[in-house]
Each structure stands twice: as C-alpha cells, then as structure tokens.
Amino acid sequence: MTTSSTRRWRLFQYLADVLADRFILPTKRLVLLVLLGTPIAVTGFWLDLGYTMFWLYNGLILLASVIDCVTLTKRGDLTLKRILPEQTDLGQPFSVQIELENRGGQSIVYSLRDDLPLSFDEPEPIAGRLDAGQTRFSYRTRAKERGEYAFRWLYLRWHGKIGLWSRQSRFSCKQSIKVFPDLSAVRGYLASMQESLIVDGKKIMRRGKSGSEFHAIREYVPDDDPRFINWSASARSRKLMTNQYRPEHGKVIMIVIDCGRLMGVELDNKTRLDISIEAALTLAAVALRQGDQVGLLAYSHEIKTYIPPGKGLGHLHTLLSATYDLKSDFVEADPAKALEFLHRQQKRRSLIVLFSDMENYLVEDQLGSYLWRMRRTHLLLLLSLADPLLHGWSHIESANSRLAFVKSVAQRFQLDRRAFQQKMTGAGIQVLDVPADQMTLTVVNTYLEIKSREAL
C-alpha cells in the first residue's frame, strides 16, 4: 500500500466517522417547508412584491433553523445502555433491552437502531419521544448461526421541538453474546424425572428396564418381569415389590463430529453440522445422566478439538463450550485421520459415535481399513443424515426421458448407501442413515438399546 492510498484511507475514515457520529441532517419537515417556499415565491411575483416574499420566507426558515440547531440536545446529554443476555440458543428469539437517558432540558424525538451481526434478524428501528429523564424499551431478534458475536454500536438519531434538523450519532456499547446449539432436547431430558425418556416430545426407550447392576426396589407394575419380584420386600410392605436393575455405569462414549465441507449443507434452515451437534449434545446428556463417561473429537482435514472422556453433568458444560462455535470448513474431511488419532488416544473399549455424511463414507478409500481395525477393540456407530432431495428424486414420476434418467441416478445413489450399510452391518459396525428430524431420537434410542443388551 502506497503512502497516498494510506492518506486517502485515513481521510475516508475521518469522513465515515463524521457521518456516523457527528452529522447533522435536515428532517422531512424542513424539506417540505423549503418546497412550500416555491409557490409562495411565485405568488409574490404575481403580486409585484419582487423578492420580498422570497427573502422573507427563507429568512424565517433560516432563523428557525439556527434556533433549532442551537437548542438541539447535545450528544453529551444522552446516555445509552444495552442489556444483553450472555447466551442464547440457535434459532430461538430473545429480548434485548436498551436504556436511554436524556439529561437535557427539552424533549427529543428519537429513532434508534442497534448494530446487529449479519446473522441476526434485523428488527424495525425503535422510535419515540422522550422528555428529560430515563426510558427503557426492548426489541426481539434471533441468531441464525452458532458462535460468539460482538455488539459494538448503538446508532441514535434525534431532533428537538422545532424539528427542522436532526443529529445522528453512534454510542459505543461493546458486548458479546454466545449462540449455543438448540438445547431444548437436552433441557427436556434433564428436567424429566420419569421412567420414560422424552426427546422432542416423543417417548423413547424406557430406562432401567434391564441390566445387571442393582439399582432400587420399587412397587410392581403390570408390565414388569415377574422373575424380579422381591418377595421379602413385598412381605414387609404388604405390597408387591420388584427389583430394578440398570446397565453398568462408567462406560466410555466417544462422540466424533465431522466438520468438513459437506456438513455445511443446509437442511430445514439448519446445517448438517448444527443438527449433528444438537443430537450429539443430547446423547452426551443422556450418557452422563446414566453415569457413563463422554469424550468428544471434532475434525475436518485436521483435528479441530479434542475433549478427553469425563463424567458428571458438569462435564456437559465443557462439551458445550467446545462445540458451540464449531464451523464447517470448506475442505474435504479426513475421517481416517480422526479415527487414527482417536485410536492412539483412547485405549479403553468404548462406544464411538461418528456423525458424518454418507458421501464421506462412500468415497473415503482408507476409512474401511480403520473401521475394521478399530472394531476389534471398540464398538462403532456411524450416523448420517438422509438426503431429502435424493429421496424425492428417487420417487418422482417418470414423465419423460430426462426425469427417468434423474430418477435412475437417484435410485443408484440410494442403492450405494444401502450397500454400504449392509457391508458395515456384516462386519459388526452399525450404520444409521436417518432423516434430520429423527436424528436425536434415533441416536439416543440406539445408545440405550446398546446399554440394555450390555454390548459395550
């Protein structure tokens, strides 16, 4: 960059600061008054008053403008403060409050706009009138992408009682907010104390129905196994009681999340990565509540983050902090590198749950060899989001040769996916290709089913 271009940039920066922070501009009222002066001046010439009417009218406007500018509330008499929550969930509306204090001697008519990040919904400008004192108002917005975002400026435009000139200024109010994945399923599970686990409003597998570890004695219900009736406890309480068993605690669950290019594809206004992270965190909450240990590995063409296995619901916050700002990279993912890294790190037998895309499973040549090697010491579960577009193309009506060709290609892709599933199932590796709205339900159900038959 040359010296002249640097000077021009500094000049442009100064002009931008003036326009944003110290600029005075005419209002609609002043523009209408100036336009109204044209017929008044024409009428004056018809009445042979010459320039008298013209200068008199414009002189009055000039005098009113000077009075308006002099009496306009100063910037230092105004104070703005934003009250922003520390965190929010992806796609969930939240409220932002703003306090405006006027320490000047006259009322102002204001219009305010917040400096929102690009991925947030833009609300309508906030407008109103404020006498001397303080007021509080709020607006609602929502985030469309996960991560941490900065709120920097508040832009305010105001004018006085005459209302010919208005001033606009920006007020520094630096704050940040963390946008977490949608944790409604996680909160719903943690708040549930029922025998049945409910995720996304659907009842899934019952907990504590099988296992080898004694958990508690409770009252017998009709669908309990009669073999587990505790006759001693029944005699003491004079009620039919049964033993409740649960799977052994302390198992290791490793969650592996693909952050490659294909995971950035949108499904139902969310990316594949968003849906996978939400399902992974729900699985982590269920596993931690069950007493197991949960670790996490995120990768693309390289290892992005690794969290060793930990236990307790406090560990869920560690997993959340490591995943809330994960982004998909515009590169091809390398699942073989991730599995090789995990094989070196995790020596104890564990359940490895891999969230990726079926296309990565099909085109990755070295993936098969790593899967076959790891299945000897670990239990593998491969998850993929079904492509609704591919499903639609495979069921379209063959009205012409072009649609028939599209349908045949789509069906061929589906056959390849099923063939991969059958191949992995034959090798003892479970592969699930499920729709986006069933991902969380399916992965939690599968985990509980593995726990109930003590396959881990």
pLDDT of residue 58: 80
Over range 264-290, report the average pLDDT: 89
Mean pLDDT for 305-325 is 91
Closest Cα to residue 123, out of 111, 133, 134? 111
Helix intervals (H) in 191-271: 231-237
Bridge pairing between strands 165-180 and 23-26: antiparallel
State percent of the chain over pLDDT 90.
25
3 state DSSP class of 313: coil
Nearest to 334 by CA among 318, 356, 353, 351: 356
In the structure, what pLDDT confidence band is assigned to residue 30 with cuts at 50, 70 and 90? confident
* CA–CA gap between residue 221 and residue 278 (Å, rounded): 34
What does the pLDDT read at residue 93? 92
Query: Closest Cα partner for 82 from 59, 115, 41, 107?
Result: 115
The architecture that CATH gives domain 250-452 is 3-Layer(aba) Sandwich (3.40)
Angle among Cα 233, 229, 288 to the nearest 5 degrees reads: 95
| pLDDT (average), residues 312-336 | 90
Return the closest-CA partner of residue 84 out of 172, 178, 181, 180: 178
Q: For residue 16, is pLDDT > 60? A: yes
Over residues 75-104, mean pLDDT:
90
Q: Does the domain at residues 1-180 carry the CATH identifier 3.40.640.10?
A: no
Q: Three-class SS of residue 426? A: helix
Report how far residue 26's alpha carbon sits from residue 24's, in angstroms, rounded to the nearest whole number: 7
How many residues are there in the chain?
456
- C-alpha–C-alpha distance, residues 141 and 146, integer Å: 14
Give the Cα separation of 92 and 44 in Å (integer): 62
Which residues on adjacent β-strands are paired with residue 206?
A: 196
pLDDT of residue 80: 92
Question: Is the pLDDT assigned to residue 267 strictly greater than 90?
Answer: no
Handedness of CA 421, 426, 431, 434 (dihedral sign): positive
Residues of the chain with CATH 3.40.50.410: 250-452
Q: Where are the beta strands (DSSP E) in 220-272?
A: 241-246, 252-258, 266-267, 270-271
Q: Quick one: pLDDT at residue 60?
A: 87
What is the token pair recorded at 63? Answer: 């005098």
Determine the pLDDT at residue 18: 67
Please check the confidence at residue 24 and state whether its pLDDT lies above 50.
yes
From the number of C-beta atoms within 10 Å of its C-beta (0-12, 13-18, 19+), residue 284 rates as buried
- Any long-range contacts for 305-311 (C-beta under 8 Å, 24+ apart)? 306/341, 306/345, 308/345, 309/252, 309/253, 309/254, 309/346, 309/350, 311/250
| pLDDT > 80? residue 410 | yes
Q: What is the pTM of this model?
A: 0.76
Give the confidence band of 416 by pLDDT, cuts at 50, 70, 90: confident
Which phi and psi (to 5°) does residue 136 adopt?
A: -130, 135
* Confidence tier at 418 by pLDDT (50, 70, 90): confident
The residues near 394 (Cβ < 8 Å, ≥ 6 apart) are: 407, 410, 411, 413, 414
Average pLDDT, the chain: 83
Q: Give the pLDDT of residue 3.
A: 45
User: Exposure pattern of 364-392 as b/e (b: 16+ CB <10 Å)?
Assistant: beebbebbeebeeebbbbbbbbbbeebee
- From the list 89, 96, 187, the residue with the least C-alpha distance to 144 is 89
Which part of the chain has CATH 2.60.40.10? 1-180
Per the model's pLDDT, the better-predicted residue between 119 and 11 turns out to be 119
DSSP calls for 25-38: EE-HHHHHHHHHHH
